[in-house]
Amino acid sequence: MQLCFYKLKECEYISENTWLEEYKKKMKKVVKFGGSSLASAEQFKKVGNIIRKEEFRRYVIPSAPGKRTPDDTKVTDMLYSCYGQAILGEDAEKDFEEQLDAIKERYNSIIKGLNLDLSLDEEFKIIRTNFSKKIGRDYAASRGEYLNGIIMAAYLGYEFIDAAEVIAFDENGNFDGEKTNEILSERLAHTERAVIPGFYGAKPDGSIQTFSRGGSDITGSIVAKAVHADMYENWTDVSGFLIADPRIIKNPKPIDVITYRELRELSYMGATVLHEDAIFPVRKEGIPINIRNTNAPEDKGTLIVEDTCRKPRFTITGIAGKKDFASITIEKAMMNSEVGFCCKVLEVFEKNNISIEHMPSGIDTMTIFVHRDEFEEKEQDVIAGIHRAVEPDFLELESDLALIAVVGRGMRATRGTSGRIFAALAHANVNVKMIDQGSSELNIIIGVRSHDFDAAINAIYDIFVNTMI
């Protein structure tokens, strides 16, 4: 039986094959590849096979070549070092030339391995001149992505678009999302397939400005928004997110689907696969992100979505945490009835430029968690400031604390989640110093001693994943 589809605008029936062909023409995927995926010619070939496997993969965002072996050096780090020699002038000219030649050889080895009829000699002449002019560290760092983009475009037969032409920053170096989206949308509307280097853009005067390290993720997200992509695929060296850190949990289960909100909570607590700023451009458009593994392309990876009706496999989606926190406990009788008490305390931290992580409180007490390295140098100033501001009855400091986030949309519909966490920690002889849960029921933050950190994560993982009780 031949399936037919009704095309409303033209008021005609079209065949299934015709419908699929038209659908394919409209579908767009943006694919970003990390440094480990593009470290060598062999990795380039894997990437080429992935892109060519689906014609929907139209816009490619490459990073600079990463490490080929654990002892190797990333090209971005090589460029930083080379530029450092360049600004020293004649005293370091020999080292500068040697390092620039080493970078050139990295790229030439990729070109040779791909059998491309391509030369980057002119590009390196320009780079040598600009380095000598001390053009800036951002320019130096950006050349890794720029040169890799040229090679990738030649290898795929795609158009090369310099990110400096389409990614806009203001004169202060802040990303200009509105201007970028306008320029990029217009440019890509007339471009079927393109390679756009990640990590950098340009200010109004044409000078290069980079995102923070790992910013190629952001570029991919920006491009996905501009072309209204159906999917943003982020290819790296892992098959998506794992429920817990594999350095702590042996062979942790992968996360199939995660929401933006869950990812934000886990990323903040140290679960780093994707640059956290890469979420925002695609989130506004409702574009899903798929984290995939270049070395295992058959793996489905992790799908990041705005929201989902899919029931999670486990009550929790993920566990993540950080060490090296300190706490300041303030006690004062009738604190709850003193208007502006919390505000006065927080102003002390603001004046000392210290950010606050969490602030659980009771009737007559409040505890503030901060990063220990931020707090230690200013601890006496903070203590004195609190005494002057609110005249507390008692004040106590603790250090060597860790915070663990237990995150999961499944916790909303599950009774007794906190009870199971406490039971698991008690069984593991872990003392809980703090617990904080918002009304969203999306996450529970637990404070423990740093030496109990690994044991706590193991206990929580075991109760929710291994035993599933």
Q: pLDDT of 168-189, one tens digit each?
A: 999 999 999 999 999 999 999 9
- pLDDT at residue 97, rounded to an integer: 93
> What is the CATH number assigned to the segment(s) 318-466?
3.30.2130.10
Continuous segment of H or E residues that includes residue 231: strand 231-236
Cα–Cα dist 120/408, whole Å: 49
Segment 65-89 mean pLDDT: 94
Coil, strand or helix at 257: strand
Kindly write down the DSSP assignment for every residue of 268-320, as one continuous string: HTT--SS-GGGHHHHHHHT--EEEEETT-TTS--EEEES---PPPSSS-SEEE
The answer on pLDDT for 22 being more than 60 is: no
> What is the homologous superfamily of the domain 28-305 according to CATH?
Acetylglutamate kinase-like (3.40.1160.10)
Is 295:34 a contact under the CB 8 Å cutoff?
no
For residue 92, the model assigns a pLDDT of: 83
pLDDT of residue 468 exceeding 70, the answer is: no
Residue 441 above 90 pLDDT?
no
- Mean pLDDT within 20-43: 83
Confidence check: pLDDT of 7 > 50: no
Three-state DSSP string of 147-186: HHHHHHHHHHCCEECCHHHHCEECCCCCECHHHHHHHHHH
Position 310 scores a pLDDT of: 81
Contact 373, 326 (CB under 8 A): no
Q: Please, what sign has the CA dihedral across residues 86, 87, 93, 94?
A: negative
Q: Give the number of other Cβ atoms within 10 Å of residue 367's Cβ.
A: 20
Instruction: Return the DSSP state at 65.
Output: -
**Per-residue b or e along 424-436, where b marks 16 or more CB atoms closer than 10 Å to that residue's CB:** bbeebebebbbeb
pLDDT of residue 263: 84
Is the pTM higher than 0.85? no
Label residue 434 by pLDDT band (50, 70, 90): confident
State how far the Cα of 64 lies from the Cα of 310, in Å rounded to an integer.
Answer: 36
Task: Give the DSSP H or E segment for 325.
Answer: strand 318-331
pLDDT in the model for residue 451? 94
Tokens of 195: 């390679």
pLDDT at 195 over 90: yes
Give the pLDDT band (50/70/90) at residue 233.
very high
> Is a pLDDT exceeding 60 seen at residue 318?
yes
| pLDDT surpassing 90 at residue 348 | yes
pLDDT in tens, 140-171: 999 999 999 999 999 999 999 999 999 999 99
Q: How confident is the model at residue 363 (pLDDT cuts 50, 70, 90)?
A: confident
Comparing C-alpha atoms, which of 172, 218, 173 is closest to residue 197?
218
What rounded mean pLDDT belongs to the chain? 89
**Domain-by-domain residue ranges, the chain?**
28-305, 318-466
